[in-house]
Chains A and B, each alone.
Chain A
Amino acid sequence: MLRYSLKRLLGAVPTLLILMTLAFFMMRAAPGGPFDTEKTLPPEIQANLDKKYHLDESLVQQYGRYLWDLAHGDFGPSFQYKDYSVNELIATGFPVSLRLGLSAIAIALIIGVGLGTLAALRQNSATDYSVMTLAMTGISIPNFVLAPILILVFAVYLGWLPAGGWNGGAFKNTILPIIGLALPQIAYISRLMRGSMIEVLRSNPIRTARAKGLPERVVILRHALKPALLPVVSFLGPATAAVITGSVVIEQIFGIPGLGRYFVQGALNRDYTLVMGVVVFYGALIILFNFIVDLVYALLDPKVRYG
């Protein structure tokens, strides 16, 4: 197990390195610097600025410095929010995004697995068709369409929930954003779960369990659920990436001060260090999460040997 984990972890290193390198050279290749303003700065000030942000060094030196800083967990100063470092911005924004993201994934898992199992147990019934239609709707309606419609219905017309804002993380303010993030994932997970559950229910171990006369509830919960969950577990990697990407839009729509919102603001203001810091941070997070998912998968699936 340890060897397997180490091997997987080492496999993540080149990915991370390529990610950082690509981000760095893209930034350097971009036309226009972050300090390009309408008025030209006096050369002394320009030189000072360049010196402060080490823009006067050679490309190799800059690249080395950048990798060195990243290895120490230092993302550097933000070009736009002059008094903050990117680290500070991540530290304020990320907990908010994390809370939304984790809640969304947890809800998506519970509802998705439940709906998928239900549809599989009543295959080709009205329940099955309505769950699958719902899933298709969830897949086809992008979250940036869904979220405004949720606001329109639940905040503007019905007035049940606030239309946006964070309000210190009040429960009421989190409901709509979490639904907006979770719905597409519910759709994917319930489709996956239905497919794998149908397959598992036709398998020999389940036939044996039924032949032994076990009650249907026990057959499903004790014997069918675990193998049927495997594809869902491996979907958790892409799901995290999707939720992170989705959070960018959702935070923008609901005006939530999370990392995704900083990212969009940074992107619109050409705040190079902030945008790059967030990309590298989220990239590392996704890679780490994929690694954990792999480990969980190996633990659950007896067919995977840690080689």
Chain B
Amino acid sequence: MNNALANNTEIKGRSLWQDAWARLLRNKAALTAMVLLLIISVLVIAAPWLSPFEFDAIDWELISTPPSLENGHIFGTDSVGRDLFVRTLYGGRMSLMVGIIATLVSLLIGITWGATAGYVGGRVDGLMMRIVDILYAMPFMFFVILLMVFFGRNIYLIFIAIGAINWLDMARIVRGQTLTLKGKEYVEAAMACGVSTPRIILRHIVPNLLGIVVVYVTLTIPQVILVESFLSFLGLGVQEPATSWGALVNEGAQDMESAPWALLFPAGFLATTLFCFNFIGDGLRDALDPKDR
């Protein structure tokens, strides 16, 4: 041991992130989830080049045909003869896009709100958090539906509406974390050394917020995907011929007795994606939590 120390004059440090990454890779469930999610993402992005069919091309000769390799419709066709494979992938594009963009919206609002409340403190903090409390008790799903009813089914509205719901949790978490970090010894030490406030925030607060934010983002994306699918399932989300997994599940459920594949393929993709995000989120939480090694 002493020898090793003597030979290595400088011990290479490992950052929090390298540590967390190593721990995440050791988590089999999270690793599998990451690989699966990567595959789904690649499929979804490459959709236009993967299938010879257009996502809105109707073939009246092949209506509700089961999956078959011979005619090239490997997931079968839907009730108006569109290829389900390419539709499932296009639906995935929509679902994942909504998931990521709406999460970014909520992230932006949540971090700004929470960090301001936490760092400024005092009365401002009390007021800002009271607003969050009040909004928290609202039945938000119903509000999104109200928005859809009153202002029409617009995809940008979905992004904003969902993002505007989800920032509340983010704001609470970020505020709590900021409050704890403010009182930490290393922040005090930095203050004592005369480091400027912006530099303290950038160097000490933000990197330490990042962990919890990353965990939270991976857990928010599936929630958002779920909300969007929920709306589309009810017929209040994405409109034809564009599609999302929720809309496909809805169409599939309507004639599942005669054509169960139209339900099972999109449902499988949706559930797998949600699974993956949840497992990665759990894995990240374990990996980034230094208490729980």
Seen from chain A, the residues whose Cβ lies within 8 Å of a Cβ on chain B are 12, 14-15, 18-19, 22-23, 26-27, 29-31, 136-137, 139-142, 144-145, 148-149, 151-152, 156, 241, 244-245, 248-249, 252-253, 263-264, 267-268, 270, 272, 275-276, 278-279, 282-283, 286-287, 290
Contact = CB atoms under 8 A, between A and B. Distances in A.
11 contacts: A15-B134, A27-B146, A30-B151, A142-B229, A151-B256, A156-B256, A241-B141, A249-B234, A267-B145, A267-B148, A282-B139
Contacts of A14: 134
A22 B147 CA distance: 11
A267 B153 CA distance: 11
A249 B230 contact: yes
A82 B146 CA distance: 21
B267 interface: yes
B135 to A, nearest CB: 8
Interface in B219-246: 222, 226, 229-230, 233-236, 246
A186 to B, nearest CB: 16
Contact of B142 (A15, A18, A279): A279
A19 B138 contact: yes
Nearest to A133: B29
B274 A245 contact: no
A210 B270 CA distance: 46
A31 B152 contact: yes
Chain B interface mostly helix, strand, loop or mixed?
A: helix
B109 interface: no
A283 B136 CA distance: 11
Given A140-B274, A249-B233, A287 B141 contact: no
B151 A31 contact: yes
A270 B149 contact: yes
Given A26-B150, A275-B149, A276-B146, A267 B234 contact: yes
Nearest to A144: B233
B173 to A, nearest CB: 16
Contacts of A287: 137
A279 B143 contact: yes
User: Would you list the 9 A-B pairs with minimal beta carbon distance, nearest first?
Assistant: A30-B150, A148-B253, A140-B274, A140-B275, A245-B141, A145-B267, A279-B142, A15-B137, A144-B233
B131 to A, nearest CB: 9
A29 B152 CA distance: 12
B278 interface: yes
A252 to B, nearest CB: 7
Nearest to A275: B149
Nearest to A290: B137
A144 B267 CA distance: 9
B185 interface: no
A136 B263 CA distance: 21
B260 interface: yes
A145 B278 contact: no
A275 B274 contact: no
B271 interface: yes
A145 B249 contact: yes
Contacts of A12: 137
B167 interface: no
A18 B275 CA distance: 36
Contacts of A151: 256
B246 A144 contact: yes
Interface string B238-279: 000000001001101100110010010001001100110011
A248 B137 contact: no
A276 B271 CA distance: 32
A188 to B, nearest CB: 12
A140 B249 CA distance: 15
